[in-house]
Chains A and B, each alone.
Chain A
Amino acid sequence: MTMKVGTRQVDGVTIVDASGRITLGEGSVILRDTVRDLLSKGNKKIVLNLADVNYIDSSGIGELVSAFTTTKNQGGELKLLNLTKKVNDLLQITKLYTVFDVKDDEASAVKSFK
């Protein structure tokens, strides 16, 4: 299953609902293009909802890092929401869990933006 994304606005925060696989190739490109498009339109409060992302490889991890740093460098914030166990484990062993702001509840994720 390739990656799909949908975006919606909640109280000034953009929720990106992603599903499928974030892997080398199409999945990584879709994520990159989505975040760049949001930032170019001034949407700098971003929550990446990964509830339906069942697989991420090292390229996908790299894209998450890239999305995080690109957003931060433009004065925004990108947070992760609803990690599956597989993705959570990957972020733990790569020590990225401490880098990302990870939430497990959408309402509190939205409220956490300054």
Chain B
Amino acid sequence: MAMTEQRVSYTLDSSLETIDNAEEKATRIATELGFGDDEVMQISMAVREGAVNAVLHGNAYAPDKKITLAFERTGSELVITIRDQGKGMDLSKIPNPLAPENLLKTSGRGIFLMRSFMDVVEIRPSSTGTELKLIKHVHGPTAGGKEASQ
């Protein structure tokens, strides 16, 4: 783990435990930053979905590959970055889960949920891994004065 005043990052294994761990960290940090209950749930679920993609589809549970998870509080937003060490992904092949022919599919909703819950979702795939950036804008007076702590 590495931490500065406004940024905290973690290096995590490619395991199911990492997914729960990432969600718990997101819940704690979003709560400490003063987000409301609904926003905390949205942020933690988006992070969970991002971690699922990194562990399952990116690193494919490979024990020698790591996930990095970082939370950064800027002036007006919470920026969360999740990186894996997989082979990248083809964004053009991600189906629309709301299309009638896909409604009854049992997978393929993770990125859609992230986009539903966060203000900005950026996905940068490469041959050495995928970087996912999730951004939530800070709203309301209580969300502006705190920083993430351990």
Interface residue? B109 (CB, 8 A): yes
Interface residue? A75 (CB, 8 A): no
Cross-chain contact B113 with A58 (CB below 8 angstroms): yes
- B side interface size, CB within 8 A: 20
Q: CB-CB < 8 A to A66: which residues of B?
A: 106
Q: How far is B45's CA from A23's CA once the two chains are assembled, in angstroms?
A: 11
Interface residue? B91 (CB, 8 A): no
Interface of B is mostly: helix
Q: Which of these, A23, A24, A57, A65, contacts B106 with CB under 8 Å?
A: A65
Closest to B41 in A: A86
Interface residue? A94 (CB, 8 A): yes
Most buried by B among A23, A24, A69, A93: A24
Cross-chain contact B97 with A24 (CB below 8 angstroms): no
Closest to A67 in B: B106
Q: Which of these, A57, A65, A69, A96, contacts B48 with CB under 8 Å?
A: A57
Chain A contacts with B in 64-102, Cβ cutoff 8 A: 65-66, 68-69, 86, 90, 93-96, 99
